[in-house]
Structure 1
Amino acid sequence: MPQPLMELFPNSLRQVLEQLPAIARDSLEEIRIRENRPLEISYGSRYSFVREDGTLTDDHQGAFVPGREQCRALLERVTNHSIYAVEEELRRGYVTVSGGHRIGLAGRTVLDKGLVSHLRDIAGFNVRIARARIGFGAQVLPGLLDFKAKTIRHTLIISPPQQGKTTLIRDLARCISSGQWHHPSALDWGSRKVGIVDERSEIAASDRGVPTFDLGPRCDVLDACPKAEGIMMMVRSLSPEIIVVDEIGRPEDAEALNEAIHAGVRVLATAHATDLSDVFGRPVLAKLAAERVFGSYVLLWRAGGKVEHRIVSAEEAEQEVSRRYSRAAGASPRDAPATISKAANPSLVPQVQTEALVTVKARPMPVIRSPAPNRQGDINNA
């Protein structure tokens, strides 16, 4: 665990975490601290509770339990002893600290005219550890290239949370900004100007405006800036060739992305989704997909402790989702004649060629006979 992050924890918590086994410490992803509840960590796609001596257990009964004073001390350090200074972040439910580590917060919400104003009585913390993985993008970037334009296609990276989306776009930005295309046909392309709108301060982990992660020599960052507004600021004043944003999903995000695309800027974005059906099922993403805004989709998932990926073109995505809608429509038995039903929202799913109906010949039902009465000997032997 990075030492600056470790220093945020009160002494008693820090002593427990410093004793974690090397296998957990080296692959640590999340630390969950809940007042008067067991200390939990997530590492290498696994989770465990932590005993006071740093050993791991699946039994929460024997785990170390942080108390009220420890949680108060952690909140003081996370907010740099000024809750008001991070009021906007508290309204969103997280604080990003130096190094790009995001700390999710749980507590009581305070409402103002029906909207969340801020959090109070904070008693839960989810410390998400940010790491740069140099070389991650080299596995994916060759499949995203637009060889005619000598750049990347508009790309959306999708996965559930904690699968590596932010880590991937960070390394893709570094590769593109450095001109490392990782393809023999792109050796003479040179680098591109990359603009990152880092709303949650996770991609670049900027410290006073300066990225602490390696993003290459031709990268500009708008730190802690709302995505939609930041995209337009980038287009108007920083002339990026590629814009990178994390976790899109609001209508204003889609409008800003369309503006950037029509201004000649390529887009690299991420979104929370399990698969392509989720993309076509979320209104904002479905609209972008139906308009073929994205030329490529990258699906990420964890398998055996590793992050795997699959690249799908826009055409393949439409066909795949159309087939799924066709199979899922209605409640017909699996062996029923094939028919085509309209999807729940035909405007979001491209139409596919109607399949020919299959004629199924009726077969005579087998005759079911009752068993003959048992003989007396059978009864006696029963």
Structure 2
Amino acid sequence: MQRDRILKVLPMKVRRLIEEEQLQFDYLQEIRLRTGKPLLIVYRGDELMAGPGRGRPYIVTKEDIREMMGYISNYSLYAYEQEMKQGFITIEGGHRVGMTGQAIIEDGKVKNIKYVSSVNLRIAHEVLGCADAVFPYVSCNRQLCHTLVISPPRCGKTTLLRDMIRQISDGNAWVRGMSVGVVDERSEIGGCYMGVAQNHLGMRTDVLDCCPKAEGMIMLIRSMSPEVLAVDEIGAAEDVHAVEYAMHCGCKMLASIHGASMEEIRKKPLLGRLVQEKRFERYIVLGSHLHPGQIEGIYDGRGSLLYEEQPAGQGV
């Protein structure tokens, strides 16, 4: 099913090349098309240059880009104007197609994108159970602790966040089932397609799709009374203020941020203050030294290490 959803939005020439590579789609992360440049694939964390053979890369054409834009928009780009002004379109299966080209500006804001020259198909992956290891350390008395996931790009923070939401919503051995409000600004957590989440987020989860994080958090608190609020990639001042507001309202926070370590987060002006004030009770730091999605450490609110993943055979 996932394989078919991915292949059907690719230009025919690119589709044939991908099929010839005989890739396992569970490990396919990105397919990048840039006009006049080689076709690039991110697979198992490595970058591959696809081509017809003998080391010759396939060079993407304007026609390839035009064909793909027709497939992903059902030949009606106008209908996707709201999504395109954010720089992406979410397709069936929750996969995100990012794009660049010439921005159309109206009243100082991006209204749309035309003359699309680059397309990046980011493959959404669900890894059910990938959050199993973290729950003994991020829960207390069957309640979630305020938790911040820290991760560099491509290290699995959204995948981890998604599975944590699912398990919190349904309940497991460590937390009771709780109502979860998700603000999915980039449609990456739920992967909503025509308003319906394509990913498994649990039976007590409400998703506010394509909504700015700060505004969405306030809306969910007022309208849906969530016990847990989940957001991806906080960082702006308004995001931090909304997180503090949610905590004061009694919501447990589950959030993520780009970063490589606790030390890096402490140096960020706004986030550093939250760390200093011990607003978050747990920090999960992800990396990729052993494998993508490696849990490099789980820390408490004081920064003390509670858990770190060991190489195979060494144990915890």
* Corresponding residue of 1:152: 144
**Counterpart Cα distance in 2 of 1:262 and 1:315:** 20
Q: Any residues of structure 2 matched to 1:1-382 within 5 Å, and which?
A: 2-23=3-24, 25-52=25-52, 62-112=56-106, 115-147=109-141, 150-181=142-173, 186=174, 190-309=176-295, 310-316=297-303
Contact preservation (8 Å) 1:44, 1:305: no
**Counterpart Cα distance in 2 of 1:226 and 1:262:** 20
Superposition deviation, residue 249 in structure 1: 1.0
Contact preservation (8 Å) 1:108, 1:119: yes
Superposition deviation, residue 69 in structure 1: 0.7
**Counterpart Cα distance in 1 of 2:23 and 2:136:** 34
- Whose radius of gyration is greater, 1 or 2? 1
Contact preservation (8 Å) 1:99, 1:205: yes
Superposition deviation, residue 284 in structure 1: 2.9
What is the root-mean-square deviation in Å for CA atoms of aligned residues? Answer: 2.1
**Counterpart Cα distance in 2 of 1:104 and 1:22:** 22
In the TM superposition, what whole-angstrom CA distance separates every residue of 1:129-169 from its partner, at most 9, and x where no partner exists?
A: 0010011010112110123xx31111110111111011001
User: Amino acid of the residue matched to residue 157 of structure 1?
Assistant: V
Superposition deviation, residue 117 in structure 1: 4.1
* Corresponding residue of 2:313: none
Distance 1:111 1:286, change over 3 A: farther
Which runs of 5 or more residues in structure 1 are unaligned?
319-382
User: Amino acid of the residue matched to residue 179 of structure 1?
Assistant: G
Contact preservation (8 Å) 2:146, 2:281: yes
Superposition deviation, residue 244 in structure 1: 0.8
In the TM superposition, what whole-angstrom CA distance separates every residue of 1:29-81 from its partner, at most 9, and x where no partner exists?
A: 0111111111110111111100126xxx8x6xx11112111111112222332
* Corresponding residue of 2:312: none
Contact preservation (8 Å) 2:143, 2:176: no
* Corresponding residue of 1:344: none
**Counterpart Cα distance in 1 of 2:52 and 2:112:** 33
Distance 1:80 1:288, change over 3 A: farther
**Counterpart Cα distance in 2 of 1:136 and 1:27:** 15
Indicate the percent of aligned positions where both proteins have the same amino acid: 36
**Counterpart Cα distance in 2 of 1:207 and 1:132:** 16
**Counterpart Cα distance in 2 of 1:115 and 1:221:** 26
Which runs of 5 or more residues in structure 2 are unaligned?
306-316
Contact preservation (8 Å) 1:30, 1:43: yes
Q: Which has the higher contact order (CA 8 A, sep 6+)?
A: 2
Contact preservation (8 Å) 1:45, 1:302: no
Q: Which secondary structure state, in structure 2, belongs to the residue aligned with residue 18 of structure 1? A: helix
Superposition deviation, residue 317 in structure 1: 6.6
Matched length = 303
**Counterpart Cα distance in 2 of 1:305 and 1:315:** 27
